[in-house]
Each structure stands twice: as structure tokens, then as C-alpha cells.
């Protein structure tokens, strides 16, 4: 079809014309021929009047396929549902995959609207969504789908295949067929390949794989994502405490979790929310000001500390030329160490032996500190024709880097032990803290050797 050879912009222009000229048949034919992702992207660029016609032209199930592609955190999601009639909106939610519908409902601020949608929805869909919506955020239960296929272990393969065919249309995806006992407890898994190539009269229990990788419903979503990554899974079963099979987590949901966690880590390192694509200048300022004000007061501590050494600076004004060099380098070292530490914690690769980690980071800080310190000592000594000054700056640089390296590596670990998100130990915080400690170290060492510097 011609539509597949058009660019996104060309499709956008043509489809908008169909909507504006009330060409329902042509719009449906061309729009629904596109991939669901492209449909969703075009939906986002239609204006309110164009979407109003789209709601008339598409059935709830057709629109549900589009909303399954949209980001549930999109700030416009709630307004899209406000544009629809309540029965139509409820029907769309009921046709969506249950886990996606739950994500949408959790991001609708008007809870009365949520109650209305749930009341108008088909009872089966409402029941399924109600089960999922009660799970805690960021757990396996909150991201799983209940639209999966399971067969009983005492089925023959022929019976299992017939059951699979009858239930396939309801499943979100069919990567694996899970095997349960009479109590609906997970006992195994069977691949589609084994289901097809084995004799029809064999029992499922004879060919199923009992080595099952599964997660508990209350397991943290980050740990679940790591498990999917480690075992190269396309889907992961979720069980209750009695091993009852409650749902599955598909790889597309895991990719969303990884994106969320990456955004969280980047937000912490930068002390801003990097996931807000539609922020206004005012909302962006509100999110950044608390950190900036906090860091301002911490920075004032650095300024106050420098003022305590005014007499030292007056007697050797050359010292002031190296303040920013030392604080900047130490801040960079601390931020590097912080990034590595958060990465290790996020990937669960950090060493559980706290003392061993301390020794490792200390040695890393010493090696980098000594090399950088010796380098700047030689450069400063030659530049200022004052080698005692170069030695003071070199020692100060080495000590500042060691302390900053330890702070960047250990603060996230301490915060993790205390139950806080390690990404909160942000880059700006570490940099400002490094400024404070570096100034103290530099002027303390300089005051000790001031007689050598000014000779």
C-alpha cells in the first residue's frame, strides 16, 4: 500500500486531511494498516478536534491497541480519557492488557473517574484489573499481567494444544506455556517446540521442564529485571507464597522498568528529574530549586571556611590560584567514584564485604591521588619557581582526591544499608561536599608549611 512508502510527516498530513474532511472509511483503512507504534505516535500529534473524530471512527478494541503503546506516565493520558465518553473510555481500558490498564488508572489523578470506569467496565476485566491495582508499586505484582496461558500437568499434549488454541486470543503473549497442578500451583514449563514435536498421547508432566525460574509477587521490580537479564528470559512467572501462579512479566515490561531505573539513577546523579519530557519552565524550576538551595548553603560553608584563612592567603597570595584546581579535580574524582558505585549497586554487583570495599576504594583513591598529586606538584613547582609550594599543592591534591573518592564510593553504600535510594547521593552533592573537604585539606596543609612556601 502507498501508506507504507510515506514518511511519518506525509502520513500525518494525509490522515489529518481525512479526519478534517470526514473520510471515515479512507482514514480507517490507512490508519489501521500502520503498525500500532506508528498509530500511537500519530495519535499524539492529532489535536483535540481530530481525536474527537478518531473516537467516533475507531472501536474501543482498536483504540486499546494504540493505548497499549503509549507511555502510561504521559501527562496527557488523563486528558485523553477526559475527551471520551465514560462508557467508551471504560470499554477502551477493558480491552487493554490488564497491566497496561492498571498503569493508566494509577496515573489518573481524579480517583472518582477511576471508580466510574471500573463500574462501567465488563465484570471480568474489572475483576482482573482490581486484582492487579492493589499490589504495591515497584513490585513484581505491579508490573505483571494476568493474561497468560497455563495447562494442568495431567493433560495430554493433544489436550494442552487444544487448550492453547482456545485461550491464545486472550493471552498478552505466548513465549512459554506454564504447567500447574490441580491447586493452580506452578510445577513446570513447556515450550511450544516440545508441545508440537512430541507424541500427542504423552502427558504434559512427562515432557515439562521442572527447573523453573520464578519470582514472588512482592519482589522488587529492579531485582526482577536483573533476573530476566541474567537468564535471557522473554517472560517470567510470578507466584504467591503458596506457589500459586498469579501472572507473568513480559520482556517489554522489563524494558520499561530498566528505563525507569536508568532515569532514576540519572536524575539522582544530576539532582534533576530527567524523565519529564513535557515540563514547563515553572515546574522544572520547582523541582530543581530545593537541591540548589540546599547546595547553596553547603557552598556557603566552603566560603566561610576560606574566610577563616584570609590571613594565610594574604601572606601567600599564590595559594588562591590553586583553590579551584584542587576543588574541581577532587569533585570530578568524587563524581566518577559515585557513578561507578551507583552502577554496581544497581546491577547488584557490589561486594557484600563492606570492609573489603573500603580497602578497594581507598587503594584506588591512593593510586589516582598520588599520580595526579605528583603531576601537579611538578607542574606547579616549575610554573611558580617554588617547589615547596608544588609539594604542598601535590600533597593537598592527593589527599583531596582520596577523600572525595571514598565519599563518592561509600555514601551510596551507606545509604543503601539505611534503606535509601543510592542515586539520591547526587553528583552535585558530592561535588559540593568535595569542595568543602578539599578547601579544609588544602589550607590546613598550607598553613603547616607556610614558612617554606614564602621563603
If you ran DSSP here, which 8-state letter would residue 168 be given?
G
State how beta strands 186-190 and 177-180 pair.
antiparallel
Task: Please give the Cα distance from 355 to 361 (Å, whole number).
Answer: 10
SS3 280: coil
Domains of the chain: 2-134 (1.25.60.10), 150-259 (3.10.580.10), 281-454 (1.10.357.20)
What pTM was estimated for this model as a whole? 0.56
d(CA 34, CA 26) in angstroms, rounded, equals 13
Identify the pLDDT of residue 451.
80
pLDDT for residue 167: 85
Q: What is the pLDDT of residue 394?
A: 93
Per DSSP, what are the bridge partners of residue 180? 152, 186
Task: Pull the grid cell for residue 56.
Answer: 467516533
Neighbours of 9 (CB within 10 A): 9
- pLDDT value of residue 16: 94
Q: Is the Cβ–Cβ distance between 325 and 396 less than 8 Å?
A: no
Distance CA 84, CA 91 (A): 11
String of DSSP letters for 374-422: HHHHHHHHHHHT-HHHHHHHHHHHHHHHHHHHHHHHHHHHHHHHTTS-G
DSSP at 136: P
| Separation CA 405–CA 410 (nearest Å) | 8
Which residues have a Cβ under 8 Å from the Cβ of 292 and sit 6 or more positions away?
Answer: none
Q: What is the pLDDT along the chain (455 residues), one digit of tens a residue?
A: 566 678 889 999 999 999 999 999 999 999 999 999 999 999 999 999 999 999 999 999 999 999 998 876 667 888 999 999 999 999 999 999 888 898 899 888 888 999 999 999 998 888 888 888 888 778 888 889 888 889 999 999 999 999 988 888 777 778 789 999 999 999 999 988 888 899 999 999 999 999 999 999 989 888 888 888 888 888 899 999 889 999 999 888 888 777 766 655 545 555 555 455 555 677 666 666 666 677 677 677 777 878 888 888 878 888 888 888 898 888 888 888 877 777 676 665 544 566 777 788 788 889 999 999 999 999 998 998 888 899 999 999 999 999 988 888 887 777 777 766 555 556 677 777 888 888 899 989 988 888 887 75
Q: What is the maximal distance between C-alpha atoms in the chain?
A: 98
As a whole number of angstroms, the distance between CA 62 and CA 54 comes to 11
Write the Ramachandran bin of 419: left for phi over 0, alpha for psi from -120 to 50, otherwise beta: left
* Dihedral (CA of 408, 409, 414, 417) sign: positive
Amino acid at each position: 500500500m502507498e501508506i507504507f512508502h510515506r514518511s511519518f510527516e506525509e502520513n500525518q498530513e494525509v490522515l489529518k486531511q481525512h479526519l478534517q474532511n470526514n473520510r471515515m472509511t479512507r482514514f480507517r483503512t490507512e490508519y489501521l494498516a500502520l503498525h500500532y507504534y506508528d498509530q500511537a505516535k500519530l495519535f499524539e500529534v492529532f489535536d483535540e478536534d481530530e481525536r474527537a473524530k478518531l473516537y467516533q471512527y475507531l472501536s474501543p478494541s482498536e483504540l486499546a491497541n494504540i493505548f497499549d503503546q503509549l507511555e502510561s506516565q504521559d501527562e496527557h493520558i488523563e486528558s485523553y480519557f477526559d475527551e471520551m465518553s465514560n462508557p467508551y473510555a471504560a470499554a477502551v481500558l477493558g480491552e487493554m492488557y490488564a497491566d497496561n490498564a492498571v498503569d493508566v488508572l494509577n496515573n489518573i489523578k481524579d480517583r472518582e473517574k477511576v471508580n466510574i470506569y471500573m463500574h462501567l467496565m465488563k465484570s471480568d476485566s474489572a475483576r482482573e484489573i482490581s486484582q492487579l491495582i492493589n499490589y504495591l508499586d515497584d513490585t513484581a505484582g505491579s508490573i505483571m499481567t494476568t493474561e497468560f496461558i497455563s495447562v494442568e500437568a495431567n493433560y495430554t499434549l493433544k489436550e494442552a494444544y487444544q487448550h492453547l488454541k482456545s485461550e491464545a486470543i486472550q493471552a498478552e503473549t505466548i513465549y512459554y506455556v506454564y504447567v500447574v497442578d490441580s491447586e493452580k500451583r506452578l510445577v513446570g514449563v513447556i515450550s511450544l517446540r516440545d508441545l508440537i514435536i512430541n507424541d500427542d498421547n504423552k502427558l504434559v508432566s512427562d515432557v515439562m521442564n521442572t527447573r523453573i525460574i520464578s519470582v514472588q509477587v512482592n519482589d522488587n521490580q529492579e531485582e526482577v529485571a536483573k533476573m530476566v537479564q541474567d537468564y535471557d528470559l522473554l517472560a517470567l512467572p510470578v507466584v504467591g507464597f503458596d506457589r500459586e501462579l498469579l501472572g507473568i512479566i513480559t520482556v517489554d515490561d522489563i524494558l520499561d522498568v530498566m528505563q525507569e531505573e536508568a532515569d532514576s539513577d540519572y536524575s539522582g546523579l544530576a539532582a534533576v528529574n530527567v524523565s519529564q519530557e513535557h515540563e514547563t519552565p515553572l515546574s522544572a524550576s520547582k523541582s530543581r530549586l530545593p537541591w540548589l538551595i540546599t547546595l547553596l548553603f553547603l557552598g556557603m560553608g566552603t566560603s566561610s571556611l576560606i574566610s577563616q584563612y584570609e590571613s594565610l592567603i594574604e601572606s601567600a597570595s599564590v595559594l588562591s590560584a590553586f583553590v579551584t584546581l584542587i576543588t574541581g579535580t577532587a569533585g570530578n574524582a568524587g563524581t566518577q567514584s559515585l557513578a561507578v558505585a551507583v552502577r554496581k549497586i544497581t546491577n547488584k554487583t557490589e561486594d557484600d564485604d563492606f570492609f573489603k570495599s573500603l580497602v578497594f576504594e581507598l587503594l584506588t583513591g591512593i593510586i589516582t591521588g598520588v599520580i595526579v598529586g605528583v603531576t601537579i606538584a611538578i607542574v606547579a613547582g616549575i610554573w611558580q619557581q617554588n617547589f615547596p609550594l608544588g609539594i604542598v599543592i601535590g600533597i593537598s591534591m592527593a589527599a583531596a582526591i582520596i577523600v572525595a573518592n571514598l565519599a563518592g564510593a561509600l555514601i551510596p553504600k551507606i545509604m543503601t544499608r539505611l534503606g535509601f535510594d543510592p542515586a539520591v547521593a547526587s553528583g552535585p552533592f558530592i561535588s559540593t561536599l568535595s569542595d568543602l573537604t578539599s578547601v579544609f585539606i588544602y589550607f590546613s596543609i598550607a598553613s603547616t608549611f607556610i614558612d617554606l612556601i614564602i621563603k
